[in-house]
Amino acid sequence: MFLDAFGTNGFLLLSAFLLFSGVIVAKFSSRWGIPSLILFIMVGMLIGSDGLGFVYFDDARTAQIIGVFALVIILFEGGLHTKWATVKSVAGPSLSLATLGVLVTSVLIGLSAYYLFNFSLVEGMLLGAIVGSTDAAAVFAALKERNIKAKMGATLEAESGTNDPMAVFLTLSLIELILAEQGTIWSMIPTFFLQMGLGLVLGLILGKTASVSINNIRLDSSALYPILSVAFALITYSITAFLGGSGFLAVYVAALVIGNSELTYRYSIFQFNEGFAWMAQILMFIILGLLVFPGQLFTPEIMGNGFLLAFILILIARPAAVFLSLIRMNYTVKEKVFISWAGLRGAVPIVLATFPIVEGLDASRLMFNIVFFIVLTSALVQGSTISYVAAKLNLVGKKKDVPHHSIELISMGKAQAEMIQFQTNRESAVVGKKLHEISFPNRANVSAIIRDNQVVTPYGETKIKAGDFLYILVEASYKDKLKKVLEQRVERPEPEAHDIEGS
């Protein structure tokens, strides 16, 4: 094949081709409204043995390792960007969806699979457990720059970040029952609480340890801080998993702690992890695309019953799980409908579907193909219509302010200084004031202002406006004082049309 013929050079060329294809695919994904994971998977299927034949890949164990590694990176990046204040307000509903919701979905899909395919009841429930959780990679990517209401986005992201332990627990427990042919799932319930408890506790401890370490260690290059953050993510997963806890939950919790702490080189860390997460997604979905054989996937049995099972998941099982999980919680019917529709399946179910293959279960390959088909259907049908459904349900929020500009700085670790980025809004006390009227600490200077994507050179008479991005150079010891000044709020009435002035 391709690699055999060209050896190392061929491997490097293929790697470059895959990364280049992934970047192009990501570009056209947002333009076409098709989830990027669909296109990444198609690239893998195209170059695989049933496609152009460049690569023959049928190693579920390797795919599983790559998938777990990529999920750790993706969960970590998603947690870094999640605001604790937002997550705290939806913690109860999200945990209910992540536990009861996954259980209800798994049971309903398991029973459906039992009747539609030639599975035993336990095998049907195993398939249900595999597709029972939403996927962090798919949800984070789908919501990243869409202006969905904050409450909806926070609920979905928190659910997808915390529901993997339940799905992993059910999947591994059912595999063990099939292999052992004895015992009951009830005897494994203490294991679930152990996994959740250890994941939560170790995530908090290791997240705090990472934050303190990043802020206090003095490295010669700023480029080393993002690498240190990734090392903590992998350490968190590994230690927690080794001790019997949920590594995925621990990584997400640790990322929440780190992302909501004051960090040295915060933006370098965030930008590096965002790029690394994209690379992990590209690699993971292409590898998973290589693992599937289209000739086995697109058969009448898989396509016919797979479509039926996918729509049972989308239209019956997921809504039932959401409405049951959110009983007596502060969500309207429209909000519950949207949460039901936005429960995307993605990499997690496919990675979990490799576990039965690795364990050598009789129906494992059929199960993998069914799961793969369900994920493709879910991502294509639900993922491409999220914005449309949100608009129809009147759940579109304010347009997200994402700065497309950056200021590159040399390492200032030894100088004990940082560049702080802060975006003002209507409630910011500094809005409407001139720079010389603001009580900044003596060791803080506004170096630049970005207004409407234009650079404004600051001087004493420059008046701050809502929406401005302030770049402030401050000595590390004065950062807390600067933060207090910037976080002061005042109540202002809504502006009248004749009060709005140009820049």
Residue 470's SS3 state is strand
Q: Calculate mean pLDDT across residues 101-109.
A: 93
Q: What is the pLDDT of the chain when averaged over all its residues?
A: 81
pLDDT at position 237 over 90 = yes
pLDDT of residue 404: 46
pLDDT at position 494 over 80 = no
Rounded Cα gap, residues 173 and 187, in angstroms: 10
pLDDT of residue 238: 94
- Rounded to the nearest 10°, the torsion over CA 457, 458, 461, 463 is 100
pLDDT at position 200 over 80 = yes
More confident of the two residues 376 and 495: 376
More confident of the two residues 405 and 66: 66
pLDDT of residue 309: 92
pLDDT above 90 covers a percentage of the chain that reads: 18
Contacts of 111 (CB under 8 A, 6+ apart): 124, 128
Contact between 218 and 208 (Cβ < 8 Å): no
> What b/e string do you get for 60-72 counting C-beta neighbours within 10 Å, with b at 16 or more?
beebbebbbebbb
The DSSP-derived string for 2-22 is HHHHHHHHHHHHHHHHHHHHH
The single residue listed with the structure tokens 């029973």 is 111
DSSP-derived letter for residue 317 is: I
Contact between 421 and 469 (Cβ < 8 Å): yes
Q: How are strands ordered across the β-sheet holding 469-475? A: 417-423, 469-475, 444-451, 454-456
Contacts of 285 (CB under 8 A, 6+ apart): 36, 37, 40, 41, 44, 347
Rounded Cα gap, residues 365 and 408, in angstroms: 49
Residue 489's SS3 state is strand
pLDDT at position 322 over 90 = yes
More confident of the two residues 37 and 359: 359
pLDDT at position 408 over 60 = no
Give pLDDT tens digits for 220-233: 777 788 999 999 99
Q: Which of 18-27, 133-142, 352-361, 401-410 has the lowest mean pLDDT?
A: 401-410
pLDDT of residue 302: 81
pLDDT of residue 63: 85
Q: Calculate mean pLDDT across residues 77-92.
A: 80
Rounded Cα gap, residues 296 and 450, in angstroms: 54
Residue 469's SS3 state is strand
pTM higher than 0.85, yes or no? no
Rounded Cα gap, residues 230 and 271, in angstroms: 12
Rounded Cα gap, residues 113 and 166, in angstroms: 19
Rounded Cα gap, residues 56 and 445, in angstroms: 58
pLDDT at position 112 over 80 = yes
- Alpha carbon separation from 188 to 101, 116, 242, 360 (Å, rounded): 19, 28, 18, 22
pLDDT at position 313 over 90 = yes
Query: Where do runs of H (alpha helix) occur along 385-453?
Result: 386-392
pLDDT of residue 208: 94
More confident of the two residues 3 and 281: 281
Q: Which of 17-31, 163-177, 365-379 has the lowest mean pLDDT?
A: 17-31
Contact between 468 and 453 (Cβ < 8 Å): no
